[in-house]
Structure 1
């Protein structure tokens, strides 16, 4: 079975992005339903617009249905992709019902009434849902205008103009939305990247904490943080210039990017300090990974042939239910950071592991790096 959820605009595809999108969709559709019902209800008190008898009752029931849906959506405050798609198609079919209740459809029920569902479809549906809506719009225009034309040519021209205008407007809004969405996604992506190295930054690190903690609890594994600090990096900058330092940082970033596992998170947290987060079974596995990272840094070469080493500190924790993943993340990184300074004191270019219990000693002065 094909789901209509696929391809809908969701920032970064995350659950947190779906909430605002669905709330906007729900409130927008509720407002349009209420507006359409209010405007349509005017015909109930205007003489000569509606057919008498059952048609008038059917028309009134249709307006009441729109009001009911508007209230329900307003109370619910959100509309999922399938709900939005169903309401768009319902809007198309409501127009056809209105036409059947009107004495003179060309005068009192022009196809422009379909503009409301067309705009909703263009902004909230994916390409597949929009295509279905366009086909339904064309069919509804044909069915609604058929009784008003004796000539097939005249009917075809009017359907082509009406459906073409509506579908063209919908397509234009859809393309505009996609363009805006791509620009927003690009901007959000840049906000999560370090401009010098192209690695992720602290913001991305924080965003990934809930995922890592959730995965570790599910798998019964540990989370490890590895803090890498480049040795004597300030001396490199002082002797050869910041351009050489930037080149070395870029080389280190490339070496680490090809060394970390696909599920690990590699980020530059500032200066010459980098952090790697990942899931491991125990401290032994974390130490092996840290040694690979240390060697990758040593093997990297800047554009001028300069190289550096790195002191690596690691810490491991088993996540528990109920804790704040972000707060736990920074506690873990603090422990790894303290272990990194142990590696510095022990001679640099080595790996040091933090004790399993949280370190209580104050963090050393970073000027010793």
Structure 2
């Protein structure tokens, strides 16, 4: 699984493309589709009991089968409210077929107006991909042609009516599709910003928390340990005071780029504030964690801005073996607190070095008490 580094929040946004199959909002959408389909089938079924509404014979049977298909589709969607794009496309195509059957079955064809296809057209525009939407738009033209051929005489009249009806339906569907894409891009941009540090492009605190359950599950599955590494840039405040915040920002961006190129694909690299960064990943033993931390320390040490500014980093390591039933986010912050204490020890030992936390856990209050002293030492 890909790690979260510079630009990976864009990947996250792409993974949240509009889909009817995932998330609670998708379940609600599926239930709404089921309810509307059920209501349509129920209203249509009522016509079977109104004398003079439908033709007798085979067309009446076809009509009854079409209404039953609507009710069955609605029930299936309600029982399993996870309609993907293929299922939604099938539902839209069913609506097209039902419309044609209705036109051929009613005694007064004018009662079956093409506006009956407006709802399935909107559903297709909002939930389906480009080529599926194109297929449903073509199906709308075919359905209108069959229906209106049964209603009007003369090729010219039929062509004009099909152009007006299908054109209006498909134009409305295309407009909804364009609106949906616009809303989707805005949502993706908002989601990317909510998970991305604006200065470095790395993951932020929110995304780090969201990734903790994934890391904990993978560690339990593989029997690995979780390693938290807290990196704090040495003498960063002095650099800002001497050269200005623009130089400090350039250093942070350069360091972030070097670290992103150094961490493993499965690691989570995040900036949690100021000059502090966190790496969360899986290791088999403390030696592997130490080797990774040394690579990160070397990456920071060798990174240099275009103006020639550079820094070093003190790194603290803490390891934990996840257990069943624990809250991943809480466990992560306890692990980060331990790594934070080890990082302070690296500062006290001379900076630009790696220190590992002892196996015992330190409380969050203890780690918090270290931060002011560490900032003074930084």
Shorter chain as denominator, the TM-score bin is 0.7 to 0.9
Q: Is the CA contact (8 Å cut-off) linking 1:237 and 1:245 kept in structure 2?
A: yes
Alignment of structure 1 residues 1-369 onto 2, 5 Å = 12=16, 18-37=22-41, 39-40=43-44, 43=47, 48-53=52-57, 55-56=59-60, 58-60=62-64, 62-63=66-67, 65-67=69-71, 69-70=73-74, 73-74=77-78, 76-105=80-109, 107-359=110-362, 362-363=366-367, 364-369=369-374
Normalised TM-score (structure 2): 0.85
CA shift for structure 1 position 53: 4.9
**Greater relative CO (CA pairs within 8 A, separation 6+):** 2
SS state at 2:228 partner: strand
Q: What is the rounded CA distance, in whole Å, between the counterparts of 1:10 and 1:350 in structure 2?
A: 38
SS at match of 1:224: strand
C-alpha distance in 2 between matches for 1:198 and 1:64: 54
Per-residue CA deviation, residues 100-126 of structure 1 (Å, 9 max, x unaligned), is 211231x11122211121111111122
Q: TM-score, normalised by structure 1?
A: 0.87
Q: For the residues of structure 2 that align with 1:90 and 1:64, how far apart are their CA atoms? A: 12
Q: 1:265 to 1:16 in 2, by over 3 A?
A: farther
Q: Is the 8 A contact 1:22 1:80 kept in 2?
A: no
Q: CA deviation at 1:57?
A: 5.5
C-alpha RMSD over aligned residues: 2.8
2:8: which partner in 1?
A: none
Comparing 292-301 with 337-346, which one deviates more in the overlay?
292-301
Return the alpha-carbon distance in structure 1 between the equivalents of residues 21 and 133 of structure 2.
21
Specify whether residues 14 and 63 from structure 1 end up closer, same or farther in structure 2 by C-alpha distance, changes over 3 A only: closer
Partner of 1:4: none
Structure 2: distance between partners of 1:15 and 1:257: 30
**How many angstroms does 1:72 deviate by?**
5.2
**SS of residue matched to 2:197:** coil
5+ long unaligned stretches in structure 2: 1-12
